[in-house]
Every structure is written in C-alpha cells, then in structure tokens.
C-alpha cells in the first residue's frame, strides 16, 4: 500500500497548474471510469456466475479469469438479471489497468494541443514523429516516473507476464484518448455492435475496445455533467485555449479556431463539441448497451398486459422476459445532462445571432458576444419561469375539471 501511495502522490504532483489539464481533471476522469464501470447497466449480461468467477479464460495469453478474479461494486447485485455491471465482465487486472490509465492519461500536460506542439517543432513532437504526441508523452513520462524509484513499484507482486500485459493495457488506454483517432474508435465499436455476435466478453480484444471507449467517454465527460459543473469545466478549457491563442499570436502563428480571446465563440465551441464528438460517442456507447442507467416502465394504457402474459402458456420464460424488456425505457442521467447542455448552448447561439442582427440593423459595430454566467443564468431563469407558468396552467386546468 505504501508504494501505491508513494507513486500516485508523485503522479499527482507531476500534473501542472494549468486551467484544464491538471490533477483535478485526472481525478475527474478516474472517477468517471469508476462510475461507468461500477454502476448498474440495464440489460447487460454478466460473465460472473454465482461463485464470483467466469467460465472462460484467455488461454492464448496464459491468463485465466479465475486467477485474476473480478471486482464488483457494492452497488451492484449480480443476482439481478435485469442489470449488469461492466466490472463484472472485466478481469481485475484489466480493470486496474483502466483505472491506472485514467490517473496517468494527461500526466505532465503542457496546456497546448498536439497541433501546436507539431507546428512549433516541440521536443515531444520530434521524439514521437508528430503522432499522438501528447498521449505518447503522458504514457512514457508516467511510466518513467513509476520506474524511477523502487518505492513507487506497487506492482511488485505481478509476475513478468502479468506486468507486461498490465503495461500494455495502460498504454493502449492512454493512446485511445487522442481525439484524432476518435472516429476510428467510434466506427469500430459501431461495427462490433452491428455484428450479429456483438461484444464477446470472453475475447480480450473486445474487452480492450470497451475499456478504450470507457476512458474516452470519461475524458470528455464535461458536457455530460449537470449544467453548473459543466460550465466550470468549460471555463477551464477555454482559458487554456486562450493561453495557447496568446502564444500563437506572439509567435506569429495563425490563432487556432476557438482560441482567440478577442473573438470568443464559446457557445459554438461547446455545441460543435457535443454534436460532433461527445454525442456520437455516447450514442455508440449506449447502442452497445454499456451506459449506466435504470429501467423505467412504459405506461400501459390498456392495463391488461400482465394478465395476458399470465394467460399465455405458449410464451416461455425467455420470450416473456424479452417482451417485458421491449416495453421498458431506460433513464440515463449522462444522456439527459448532455441533451440539456446542448439545448442550453443552442439557445445561447440563437441569442448571439439575434444580437448580431440587431447590431447590424442599428448600424452599431458588431461586438463579439462572450456568453457570461449572467447570460446563461438568464436563460436558465427564463426556462424556470416557463416551467412554473406551465405548472400553474396545468393546475388550473385540473381544478376546472374537478
């Protein structure tokens, strides 16, 4: 335990004091992968049997599930066949590798993008041949730290094969966070989901893909948080962007999109990020049946479905179970927050466009509209007022009918 504490304290100290890619972001991503892997997932089959072990193994790698074991969250009940848990399908060594990768994934981040490092011929870009520069640096620097002192070696009890496999999994998870490869990963999972066989939990490559998608979602989960927290993370990333834009201007380089503090486009940045990056990833992850949530029963207006099922001897238990699942919806807090935040930014964009038209008609010079917390709060209050008005109308209508 002491080696574990030593290493992760040193790892935390290696994150720079920058607006976004700091130790708090690393902690947030670690928490997110824990959440995604430990919370109940509606309809997910589990590889765990009643004795807490799996029946299959990756014999090609000389690694058996029984030897590695599985870790289950206290919030997950394996006897409930209506829910599954990601941790119930991933051996503990692979799960630990996912968590360690989350903690390492942005180690020593300089607060600049890959494109900036390549454009300025930074040492890291030269070292890694302009390919996944930051991601390679994070992984290499974090492992160099681990190997720099014996008192950091919390993996000392792994044998050579296990350590080599663990290191491979951590590196693959970190490299997956390169957004340049984002659509390749999304397409890969979509192809797997559309395949009749689907995800094969006994296949190590399939489990690795799931873990890669998990850390990717955790890494860009800001728009999937509730509004106030989402705005705090948004403030961090734009300030880091503006710092890069300032340096680009000082170097005589073109200022990257969304990084010019004199012409802020915060709403367009977030709307585009949700529409083109986070949304497709969430859709793919959800289509694979990996998104935590809870079943919600659909309203049955006829009210006789249950009786019909009881009076149908030709329907076996499996068919009955599938029929019940088809009538159910799933509530997912992640996708709800994502939808709400997207709607919020769309309203900000509409307000910006109205302001631009008004300025043009009045002949006043157009000024960049940087949506402030007050502006967003005004939109929020407007939504609440509309909601209250709707509640009062519904209440009045209900009283009139009584």
Domain spans of the chain, in order of start: 1-47+72-288
- If DSSP states are collapsed to H, E and C, what string results for 296-359? EECCCCCCCHHHHHHCCCCCCHHHHHHHHHHCEEEECHHHHHHHHHHHHHHHHHHHHHHHHHHH
List, for residues 62-94, the tens digit of each pLDDT value. Answer: 433 333 444 444 444 444 558 899 999 999 999
Kindly report the average pLDDT of the chain as a whole number. 83
CA-CA distance, 229 to 58, in Å (whole number)?
Answer: 41
Exposed e or buried b for every residue in 171-192, given b needs 16+ CB within 10 A?
Answer: bbbbbbbbeebbeebbeebeeb
Alpha carbon 233 to chain centroid, angstroms:
14
pLDDT grade, residue 298 (50/70/90)? low
How many whole angstroms separate alpha carbon 223 and alpha carbon 229?
A: 9
Nearest to 324 by CA among 304, 344, 297: 297
**Better-predicted residue by pLDDT, 331 or 176:** 176
CATH fourth-level superfamily of 1-47+72-288: 3'5'-cyclic nucleotide phosphodiesterase, catalytic domain (1.10.1300.10)
Higher-pLDDT residue of 149, 383? 149
Is residue 107 within 8 Å of 16, Cβ to Cβ? no
CA-to-CA distance for 238 and 240, rounded, in angstroms?
Answer: 5
For the segment 199-227, what is each residue's pLDDT rounded down to a tens digit? Answer: 999 999 999 999 999 999 999 999 999 99
- Nearest CA among 237, 258, 240, 220 for reference residue 338: 220
Mean predicted confidence (pLDDT) in 138-166: 98
Q: Counting Cβ atoms within 10 Å, is residue 340 exposed (0-12), middle (13-18) or buried (19+)?
A: middle
Residue with tokens 């919030």: 75
Instruction: Tell me how far the alpha carbon of residue 64 is from its chain's centroid.
Output: 29
Top pLDDT among 379 and 21 is at 21
CA 341 → CA 226, 274, 353, 380, distances in Å? 8, 9, 19, 11
Say whether 21 is catalytic.
yes
The 10s digit of each residue's pLDDT in 174-183 is 999 999 999 9
Q: Which of 75-89, 122-136, 195-209, 386-400 has the lowest mean pLDDT?
A: 386-400
pLDDT at residue 262 above 50?
yes
CA 194, CA 198: separation in Å to the nearest integer?
7
Using CA atoms, how far apart are residues 226 and 220, in angstroms rounded to an integer? 14
* pLDDT band at 380; cut points 50, 70, 90: low
Which residue in the list 21, 105, 230, 337 is annotated as catalytic? 21
- Residue 88 is given by DSSP the state G
Which pLDDT score is estimated for 362? 78
């Amino acid at each position: 335990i002491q080696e574990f504490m030593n290493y992760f304290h040193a790892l935390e100290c290696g994150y720079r004091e920058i607006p976004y890619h700091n130790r708090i972001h690393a902690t947030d991503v670690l928490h997110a992968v824990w959440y995604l892997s430990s919370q109940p997932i509606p309809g997910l089959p589990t590889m765990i049997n009643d004795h807490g072990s799996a029946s299959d193994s990756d014999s090609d790698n000389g690694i058996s599930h029984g030897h590695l074991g599985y870790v289950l969250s206290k919030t997950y009940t394996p006897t409930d066949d209506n829910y599954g848990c990601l941790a119930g399908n991933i051996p503990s060594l692979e799960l630990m590798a996912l968590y360690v990768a989350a903690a390492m994934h942005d180690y020593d981040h300089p607060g600049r993008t890959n494109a900036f490092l390549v454009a300025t011929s930074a040492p890291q870009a030269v070292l890694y041949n302009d390919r996944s520069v930051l991601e390679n640096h994070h992984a290499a620097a974090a492992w160099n730290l681990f190997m720099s002192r014996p008192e950091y070696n919390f993996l000392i009890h792994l044998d050579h094969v296990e350590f080599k496999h663990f290191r491979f999994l951590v590196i693959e998870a970190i490299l997956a966070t390169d957004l340049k490869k984002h659509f390749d990963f999304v397409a890969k999972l979509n192809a797997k989901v559309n395949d009749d066989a689907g995800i094969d939990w006994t296949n190590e490559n399939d489990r690795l893909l799931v873990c890669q998608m998990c850390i990717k979602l955790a890494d860009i989960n800001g728009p999937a948080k509730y509004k106030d927290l989402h705005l705090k993370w948004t403030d961090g990333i734009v300030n880091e962007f503006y710092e890069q834009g300032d340096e680009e201007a000082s170097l005589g380089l073109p200022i990257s999109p969304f990084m010019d503090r004199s012409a802020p486009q915060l709403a367009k940045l977030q709307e585009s990020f949700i529409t083109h990056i986070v949304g497709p990833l969430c859709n793919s992850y959800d289509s694979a049946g990996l998104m935590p949530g809870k079943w919600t029963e659909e309203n049955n207006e006829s009210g006789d479905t249950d009786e019909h099922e009881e009076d149908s001897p030709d329907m076996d238990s499996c068919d009955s179970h599938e029929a019940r699942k088809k009538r159910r919806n799933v509530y997912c807090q992640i996708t709800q927050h994502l939808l709400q935040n997207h709607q919020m930014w769309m309203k900000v964009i509409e307000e910006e466009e109205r302001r631009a038209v008004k300025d043009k008609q009045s002949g006043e010079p157009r000024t960049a509209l940087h949506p402030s917390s007050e502006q967003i709060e005004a939109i929020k209050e407007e939504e609440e007022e509309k909601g209250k008005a709707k509640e009062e109308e519904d209440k009045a209508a209900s009283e009139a009918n009584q």
